[in-house]
Structure 1
Amino acid sequence: MDLAAPPSLLPDALRLRRHLHIGGEWTSPAGTDVIDVENPSTGELIGQVPAGTAADVDAAVAAARAAFPGWAAAAPAERSAHLDRLHTALATRADDLARTIAVELGAPLKLATRVQVALPLIVLRDHVALAARPPVEETIGNSLVVREPIGVVGAITPWNYPLHQVMAKVAPALAAGCTVVLKPSELTPLTAYLLFDAVTEAGLPPGVLNLVPGTGAAVGEALAGHPDVDLVSFTGSTATGTRIMRLAADRIARVALELGGKSANVILPDADLPTAVKVGVGNALMNSGQTCTAWTRMLVHRDRYAEALDLVATAVAGYRVGDPFDSATRLGPLVSAAQATRVRGHVERALADGARLVAGGPGAPVPARGHFVAPTVFADVHPDSALAQEEVFGPVLAVLPFDDTDEAVAIANNSRYGLAGAVWSTDTEAALAVARRLRTGAVDINGASFNPLAPFGGYKQSGLGRELGVHGLAEFCELKAIQR
């Protein structure tokens, strides 16, 4: 097999991984099939991992089930100490993690370092502290209400943030006293192997955290439908989330779902327009638009609409598309040929639906090799059109005008999704009033920074449950009332 990525970009030891991690050991898979891992910047093969099977899932779940009583009974300080050691082991691999994510996902190295790796390390550090806290108990009348870990967790994670989305599930699950079987995305599995190298170094108890890479059809389905999995935590498409709910429903198992988004960025008439547009464009294009919370609908008052479009075009022109390891690159490739084709299809449909092209589009220059799509902006997008309703998951922004605040709120809420959003105004109270009216799980006012301790999740078809902080930790717990 010809592995294309040079050693300076991807550690040699990471390229050919032939084992699963089950019961604290690197073990051979039940089958012989493998999954090829591609560099989306070039289309070249860079590695292989095992394609797990239902038998592998059975073994991993059995290991997690066997480990659960001891891990659940461990003192909070003991679980916290294990997570602290994992944090130390993972932090020493930060450079390798960033390079691996840049290669297998195509994220610019700066983004991979500052967001893709730095954020999950913060999340893990937060859970070191959360795990150390005694379990919350409360008294209601003659009842003592206690929280207990739910059991074995099946964590199914996406490719767009291959370490953060893992850590947003694994850290709270372990902190709560649950054990975990992880299925990472088959498009970006190498990052998970670096995590499990850190797990081995940190000495987590056998079976507490297990790794079974594979396809959704084989491993994902087996994990979601497994009778000994107490909670399935999934991040990905709404269609797949629906399938997981059906599988879990057969045994009345809990699910936590973080799904799609079509977030609105509401720029009120008195806003600092240059700042709102610059930040809004950056949010929409981050990670090549492959972010579920991306503000992909920019809503601007009609009186400032033309000015906003000029500012958007100028901002987008500054996004250089290219090699993730070039320091001048601001936009890498999409993760796969299929994803790039899908996004181009959305662009073509928007043109056919009559949207006005402001920047990018089919004729915009991109590198000849790799799965690149130029950053693209459309104006005059109808609120009910496909571009305004469907999650594109690529570097495509729709700009829509509104005449008053009520219309802006109506347009923003005109979506089957409700994951994130933004409001801009020099009047923070007015912005807060609009934020309260948006039917979405998170809203940023005037570009406020992301808070990894705040609950993260969505309304409507954006999912069920919350991740991060104490609210995310609660998802992995059962409530028990003891009457005295």
Structure 2
Amino acid sequence: MTQYRKFYIGGAWVAPQGGHDCPVHDPSTEEVVATISLGGQADTDAAVVAAQAAFPTWSQSSVADRLALIRRIAAQYDARAEDMAQAISREMGAPIDWARGPQVGAGASHIRDAAAALEACDFEAPLPGTPGTLIRREAVGVCALITPWNWPMNQITLKVLPALAAGCTMVLKPSEVAPLSAFVFAEIMHAAGVPPGVFNMVNGDGAGVGSQLSAHPGIDMVSFTGSSRAGRAISIAAADTLKRVALELGGKGANIIFDDAPDRAIQMGARRCFNNTGQSCNAPTRMLVSRARYDSAVEIAAAAAAETNVGPASEQGKHIGPLVSGAQWDKVQRLIETGMAEGARLVAGGPGRPEGLNRGWFARPTVFADVTNDMTIAREEIFGPVLSIIAYDDEEDAVRIANDTEYGLTNYVQTQDPDRLRRMGRSLRSGMVEMNAKGFGAGFPFGGMKQSGHGREGGAFGLDEFLEIKAISGWPVN
């Protein structure tokens, strides 16, 4: 068992001043594989002080110096890719091939997107038509970055790199459930030569270090990814000091299958719901299908679930791994049972572990048919491999059902009709609409509406989140 009790503060690994030990479990075996320390108020304060001390110098650093640092981080990240994949697989149960691919790859992409955004950013420019008025973009200040366990490097790099590019200093609090990859990342930052105090990392839980950072008078901004419940708590804690708050929260995405979409779109939609064991905020968990095509779609989705293999994270191959924790497994089981109790028709999967897996937090890929949009499984974010199929009458009804949710992160549309694609893209109330499985371009803005949060991450949009706008008059023209 590995010990990870130290925090990274002021450019060095330091012993905790307070807090207590916390076990880290391997979700595939339920065994404790590491121990970390959860920090106390003294640790939080020390990290904030270090970030405050570094801010005056780093915020005035040149774009060239920041670019050079980000490129060194990218090189170190690539060199540690296998270490990162092993950490992610072990801590949160991502199958090793999935960890090496999308999980680690997401971080590499976001590091390079941050460099491109920094290179393109105009930090000083005259107000159009008024040469003597300068508009300047400056770092917002000391930032608290609070990240989740489901896509560890995706979320850490989406926050740390744009904050760094903007000239901010920061305190990272990674998830205590899956913290091992964050230790690798801190080692990468140190090896790349991040100046002392610019990047700091303190482990803790939401009630401890998370709440301390959210309310800390030395923090100028909180960027948080996680549940809507926690997002509300952070907003309340930050209100006393009027911090800037950026929130990337939950989702309950609708995947609208129109009659002209191929059967493959139904199969892919189900598989995407199960990817990462359903532990993605932008998963297409509600499949909307016309009544004329409904029975066929249910059969295709059920077959896709039956064909989805489940196995330990350490094994290579195309399968899904376990849920991240016992608590998450209990939640998913409860919601599956709730779906059955409320009258949804179970057509694949169901409660319990898959056959042959008696240990580890494995869940069965599950499909419910005859779901109505007022059922619990259609309203709550399950965060497990559970798909709900809902019938609609026509295009207008599909839009109504898709928008009838407190969330608004990502919706999906499958149709070959260009005019319908345009109508749907404009009508769906979500921060992102993916159509016909076409991926978004590099540096696209990731974020949502309604209780999916506010703010955007990625590329130039993510950089803007960490910048303040200053107007200066009487600026010398010559």
For residues 49 and 353 of structure 2, the distance between their equivalents in structure 1, rounded to whole angstroms, comes to 52
1:28 aligned onto 2:15: yes
Secondary structure of the corresponding residue to residue 383 of structure 1: coil
Q: Partner of 1:176 in structure 2?
A: 166
Q: Partner of 1:306 in structure 2?
A: 295
| Contact 2:352–2:363 (CA under 8 A) maintained in structure 1 | no
Please point out which of 67, 74, 91 is paired with 1:104: 91
Q: 1:136 to 1:320 in 2, by over 3 A?
A: farther
For residues 310 and 33 of structure 2, the distance between their equivalents in structure 1, rounded to whole angstroms, comes to 21
Q: C-alpha deviations, 1:433-461, integer Å up to 9, x for none?
A: 11210000001110011434111100000
Within 5 A, what are the aligned runs for 1:59-70?
Answer: 59-70=46-57
For residues 272 and 107 of structure 2, the distance between their equivalents in structure 1, rounded to whole angstroms, comes to 19
**Post-superposition offset of 1:263:** 0.4
Q: Partner of 2:321 in structure 1?
A: 332
Secondary structure of the corresponding residue to residue 208 of structure 2: helix
- Return 5+ residue gaps in structure 2 as ranges: none
Q: Partner of 2:66 in structure 1?
A: 79
Q: Partner of 1:442 in structure 2?
A: 432
**Post-superposition offset of 1:363:** 5.6
**Post-superposition offset of 1:364:** 6.3
Within 5 A, what are the aligned runs for 1:196-275?
Answer: 196-272=186-262, 274-275=263-264
**Post-superposition offset of 1:140:** 4.2
Q: Partner of 1:319 in structure 2?
A: 308
| Contact 2:3–2:36 (CA under 8 A) maintained in structure 1 | yes
Which AA in structure 2 matches 1:121?
A
For residues 426 and 136 of structure 1, the distance between their equivalents in structure 2, rounded to whole angstroms, comes to 44
| Contact 1:422–1:435 (CA under 8 A) maintained in structure 2 | no
Q: Partner of 2:374 in structure 1?
A: 384
Please, what TM-score do these two structures have when normalized by structure 1?
A: 0.95
1:342 aligned onto 2:331: yes
For residues 361 and 34 of structure 2, the distance between their equivalents in structure 1, rounded to whole angstroms, comes to 18
Please point out which of 410, 415, 434 is paired with 1:420: 410
For residues 253 and 352 of structure 2, the distance between their equivalents in structure 1, rounded to whole angstroms, comes to 27
For residues 457 and 178 of structure 1, the distance between their equivalents in structure 2, rounded to whole angstroms, comes to 21
Secondary structure of the corresponding residue to residue 329 of structure 2: helix
Secondary structure of the corresponding residue to residue 399 of structure 2: helix
- Computed over aligned residues only, the root mean square deviation of the Cα atoms, in angstroms, reads 1.2
For residues 254 and 211 of structure 1, the distance between their equivalents in structure 2, rounded to whole angstroms, comes to 20
Q: Partner of 1:119 in structure 2?
A: 106
Identity of aligned residues (%): 47
Secondary structure of the corresponding residue to residue 33 of structure 2: strand
**Post-superposition offset of 1:482:** 1.8
Which AA in structure 2 matches 1:150?
V
Q: Partner of 1:193 in structure 2?
A: 183
For residues 232 and 153 of structure 1, the distance between their equivalents in structure 2, rounded to whole angstroms, comes to 6
Q: Partner of 2:40 in structure 1?
A: 53
Q: Partner of 2:449 in structure 1?
A: 459
Q: Partner of 1:139 in structure 2?
A: 127
**Post-superposition offset of 1:136:** 5.2
| Contact 1:52–1:212 (CA under 8 A) maintained in structure 2 | yes
| Contact 1:106–1:333 (CA under 8 A) maintained in structure 2 | yes
| Contact 1:320–1:328 (CA under 8 A) maintained in structure 2 | no
Secondary structure of the corresponding residue to residue 16 of structure 1: strand
1:160 aligned onto 2:160: no
1:291 aligned onto 2:280: yes
**Post-superposition offset of 1:382:** 0.8
Deviates more, 1:409-418 or 1:322-331: 322-331
Please point out which of 69, 79, 82 is paired with 1:92: 79
For residues 479 and 359 of structure 1, the distance between their equivalents in structure 2, rounded to whole angstroms, comes to 53
| Contact 1:432–1:445 (CA under 8 A) maintained in structure 2 | no
**Post-superposition offset of 1:127:** 1.2
- Return 5+ residue gaps in structure 1 as ranges: 4-14
**Post-superposition offset of 1:325:** 2.1
For residues 22 and 251 of structure 2, the distance between their equivalents in structure 1, rounded to whole angstroms, comes to 29
Q: 1:180 to 1:481 in 2, by over 3 A?
A: same
Structure 1 segments of 4 or more deviating over 4 A?
A: none
Which AA in structure 2 matches 1:243?
A
Which AA in structure 1 matches 2:45?
D
| Contact 2:97–2:318 (CA under 8 A) maintained in structure 1 | no
Q: Partner of 1:10 in structure 2?
A: none
Please, what TM-score do these two structures have when normalized by structure 2?
A: 0.96
| Contact 1:137–1:147 (CA under 8 A) maintained in structure 2 | no
Please point out which of 340, 344, 348 is paired with 1:359: 348
Q: C-alpha deviations, 1:106-139, integer Å up to 9, x for none?
A: 0111111111101111110111222234425351
Which AA in structure 2 matches 1:309?
V
